[in-house]
Structure 1
Amino acid sequence: MPVPGAHRAYEAACARLLGLQHENGAWEGEMEWSTMILSQYVIVLHILERSPDEPTRQSILQCFRKARTAEGSWGMHPQAPPSAYATTLAYVALRLLGTEPHDSLAAGARRWIHTQPGGAGAVPQWGFFWLAVLGLMPYRQVAPVPPR
């Protein structure tokens, strides 16, 4: 049985959403997710030998500060428990950004990683890939990816 007013609410929601759409077809808005993507961005910048300017670097560090758990780690999303993958990538990104090992962000992450069974080696294969690209682990530890 249809809910009274549901169709009208649906129509209003669609009209509002379409009203927010830019001419190029995109919508602008905040997306909150894991720092994993931010960490990968920092790693790619490093690989490309591009450093973020200081305001961007500070913004990245602020994002890491805000997303950090009470344990000094990061989860796969803001409400998630700590993740070896997200925390290891965050630690690597922080160090690539010039954060010193004794800085509270880096030190907390390092302590947390060392308390985990397997430490940084507990990350999934995608994490091994990033660590190998950076020369932090041998490529032979990354599962082979067959060509297309």
Structure 2
Amino acid sequence: MKWKWKVKKEMYVPFAKETPRRILLPQVKVKDTEDITEDQVTITLRRAISFHSTLQAHDGHWPGDYGGPMFLLPGLIITLSITGALNAVLSKEHKPEICQYIYNHQNRDGRWGLHIEGPSTMFGTYLSYLTLRLSGEEADDGQGAVEKGRKWLLDHGGATAITSSGKVWLSVAS
């Protein structure tokens, strides 16, 4: 499968309008037969920095769509949970949003994949299920989504069937 990453312009346009480019540099054009000079590299880097600085939000971050990997968020939630920082870092408003994101990407068979469009995997299902539970979801929450995921996990071998990296996360979380 070939991935196509698309930049959602609507996220960046407001920042670009508020922070116009300070330096307008010419585009460097190099023919195949020419050597690239240090000045051309410098101009190209300055153009890139100038462009990306217009996309930066006022608080210093670059907004973007996180849609994709389903295995990164569980690592954050597990780490915050075991360090006792879950409630200090995430507000009560964050948790339902995180859970809704996970619910939105549950496959019809009750499992989750490694990414939002991926096929169901044991690893993805365990991490998503664990994230929901650590975020405060009960077995009957998510209109049956939590229970559906749990049932599938238990019916298919439980924790012994997860990959070794999944077992590491489960051991850290317990």
- 2:52 match: 21
Gaps of 5+ in 1: 1-6, 8-13, 136-148
- What do residues 3-42 of structure 1 show as CA deviations (whole Å, max 9, x unaligned)? xxxx9xxxxxx9xx94751277x85421322322111111
Query: In the alignment, is residue 122 of structure 1 matched against residue 168 of structure 2?
Result: no
- Judge conservation of contact 1:35–1:90 (CA < 8 Å) in 2: yes
State the structure with more CA Rg. 2
- Judge conservation of contact 1:20–1:27 (CA < 8 Å) in 2: no
1:67 aligned residue (100, 105, 111): 105
Shift of 1:114: 2.2
- Judge conservation of contact 2:68–2:117 (CA < 8 Å) in 1: no
- Judge conservation of contact 2:111–2:121 (CA < 8 Å) in 1: yes
Alignment of 1:34-45 (within 5 A): 34-45=69-80
- What do residues 74-122 of structure 1 show as CA deviations (whole Å, max 9, x unaligned)? 1011221111001111111111111111222311110221232x22222
- C-alpha separation in 1, matches of 2:83 and 2:53: 32
- Judge conservation of contact 1:84–1:123 (CA < 8 Å) in 2: yes
Normalising to structure 2: TM-score of the pair?
0.60
Count of aligned residue pairs for this structure pair: 120
1:30 aligned residue (19, 40, 65): 65
Q: Percent identity?
A: 27
- C-alpha separation in 2, matches of 1:22 and 1:108: 45
2:145 aligned residue (105, 116, 124): 105
Normalising to structure 1: TM-score of the pair?
0.70
- C-alpha separation in 2, matches of 1:20 and 1:114: 50
Query: In the alignment, is residue 93 of structure 1 matched against residue 124 of structure 2?
Result: no
Gaps of 5+ in 2: 1-28, 30-43
Query: In the alignment, is residue 49 of structure 1 matched against residue 88 of structure 2?
Result: no
- What do residues 34-84 of structure 1 show as CA deviations (whole Å, max 9, x unaligned)? 322111111111011122211111110111111111112110112211110
